[in-house]
Amino acid sequence: MQNNTHSHNILDTSRIGSLLMKLTAPLFFGMVIQNIYQIVDTIFVGRYVGTDALAALSVAMPIQMFVFGAGNMVSVGGASLISRLIGQRDKQMAERTLGNSIFFGAVFSLIVTIIIVPFPAFWLKLVGVSDNVLPYAREYLTIIMSGSVFNLCGAVLLALVRAEGNARVSMISMIIQSVLNVCLDAVFIIGLKMGISGAALAMVISQGAALIYVLSYYLIGGSYLKIRWRNFIPDKKVVRDIFAIGVSQFFKAVVDCLSATMIIKMVGQYGGDIGLSTFSILIRIMNFASMPGMVLGQAMQPILGFNYGAKRFRQALKATYYPVFTSTALSAVALLILVIIPGPIIRLFTADTALVASAISGSHIMFLGLIVFGFFSVGQMVFPSIGKAMSTFLVSVLRPLLLILPAAFILPRFFGVNGVWLIFPITDTLSSLLVLGFLIPLLRKFQRAAKEEKHGEPASIITGK
């Protein structure tokens, strides 16, 4: 592999704690804004469109997860490879990976649009939409899937930006999308009274604006890696390395989609449309509360990938330990807050007393798993960060396939709608144990390699060379 001289990269430092903070702070701020916009978007729909429209957001979620997984197939694999190549000081191959990732992101977005947009009712009925919710869900899904290129390509580019150590651009992109989306929600839903179509259109337009900004960073900004048209041509080795990690994300998306569909069906069966509306509220609060773990995992990925590629295993250990402990502590704080004051938070979404009561009851069960979810969010990112394809695949697929799907099938039959809420803490706990089982032997190898590194010996344990 060719080694290229290149200018200094932000990832090239021994001060792992400072670097983690430098990457985490803008990512955290950007994701806070993004999660606030998602919550505000839900508030707009719940307050100004209605309960059935809220349920439509829940019903569309499994299909959105599938699209997100298609994007992750490229973004996770591409980002992991780019960070490791930068660590190996191979800028030319890193830029080729950038070009190939963008190409496949565009291809997959086109495929998703062709498959879903002409047949929205078909896909929604597979999920289990009710007759009352179907008109809202069909409107919403058709519009957001028509803009898949903005969503999918934007997600791919954001991951690639983070992979080269630039969290600031990622933050600004998320802020642009979030602020614009909220403003357009107010115009389309309240001002023009476009209903759920207005919410969907606001999302697509804001995603397009964010994509334009990230593209401008690569085309005319100060990016470390550059977009070169010749790198759009698929390279056999690059494609293989991207999808060695990324294919697990696709299988995860498929199984996630199936498990989410099962959960939605069970919510509808045992909780009715008010149960679907409850789920729509709780899942958004859950996403917000679990954000610290996701942010720290994203910030860890380029740092760990770079140091693994550079064979700096002492720094790789620090890049793993710091976010794991921090995310666990923050998750405990989030759980404490949600246990103490769920009511005022839930009432932001709706004034419907029955819906508020249902959501408060569900929150007491659903949020219990937050205590371990921070560890899981960071721990699962270790394996793709260092290119461990099999571990990535097993962790990604076993959680939804062997834990969530069986739990979704069994628990509601014994505990009704409360069984649906129980799925989350039970599977989060078991998933964390699964990650721990894979992580402990890997960290032991890191420790042995770090000792070899300290004594000036070649660290052969991890690479297998």
- Indicate the pLDDT class of residue 207, thresholds 50, 70 and 90: very high
Asked whether the beta carbons of 166 and 181 are under 8 A apart, the reply is no
Please report whether residue 1 resides in a domain.
no
Tell whether the model's pLDDT for residue 7 goes beyond 60: no
Tell whether the model's pLDDT for residue 5 goes beyond 60: no
User: What is the CA angle 284-288-293, rounded to 5?
Assistant: 130
| DSSP per-residue letters across 73-128 | HHHHHHHHHHHHHHHTT-HHHHHHHHHHHHHHHHHHHHHHHHHHTT-HHHHHHHHT
Please report whether residue 10 resides in a domain.
no
Please report whether residue 34 resides in a domain.
yes
pLDDT in tens, 263-294: 988 998 999 888 888 998 898 888 888 888 88
- Indicate the pLDDT class of residue 461, thresholds 50, 70 and 90: very low
Please report whether residue 136 resides in a domain.
yes
Please report whether residue 163 resides in a domain.
yes
Range of the domain at 290: 16-463
Tell me how far apart the alpha carbons of residues 129 and 375 are, in angstroms, rounded to a whole number.
34
- Position 320 scores a pLDDT of 93
Please report whether residue 337 resides in a domain.
yes
Buried b (16+ CB within 10 A) or exposed e, 418-432: bbbbbbbbbbbbbbb
Tell me how far apart the alpha carbons of residues 15 and 209 are, in angstroms, rounded to a whole number.
35
The mean predicted confidence, pLDDT, of the chain is 87
pLDDT in tens, 127-154: 878 888 889 999 999 999 999 899 899 9
Higher local confidence (pLDDT), 370 or 41: 370
What's 188's DSSP letter? I
Tell me how far apart the alpha carbons of residues 221 and 157 are, in angstroms, rounded to a whole number.
14
Tell me how far apart the alpha carbons of residues 48 and 37 are, in angstroms, rounded to a whole number.
16
Please report whether residue 122 resides in a domain.
yes
Taking CB atoms within 8 Å and a gap of at least 24, the contacts of 3-7 are 3/88, 3/89, 3/90, 4/89, 4/90, 4/91, 4/92, 5/89, 6/89, 6/91, 6/224, 7/224
Please report whether residue 5 resides in a domain.
no
pLDDT in tens, 377-417: 999 999 988 888 888 888 888 888 889 989 999 999 999 99
Tell me how far apart the alpha carbons of residues 93 and 444 are, in angstroms, rounded to a whole number.
30
Asked whether the beta carbons of 208 and 147 are under 8 A apart, the reply is yes
Tell me how far apart the alpha carbons of residues 279 and 294 are, in angstroms, rounded to a whole number.
21
Tell whether the model's pLDDT for residue 435 goes beyond 80: yes
Q: How many independent structural domains does the chain possess?
A: 1
Tell whether the model's pLDDT for residue 459 goes beyond 60: no
State how far the alpha carbon of 424 is from the alpha carbons of 365, 366, 419, 430, 453, in Å.
8, 6, 9, 10, 41
- Position 464 scores a pLDDT of 41
pLDDT in tens, 66-120: 888 888 889 888 998 998 898 888 989 999 999 999 999 999 999 989 999 999 8
- Indicate the pLDDT class of residue 233, thresholds 50, 70 and 90: very high
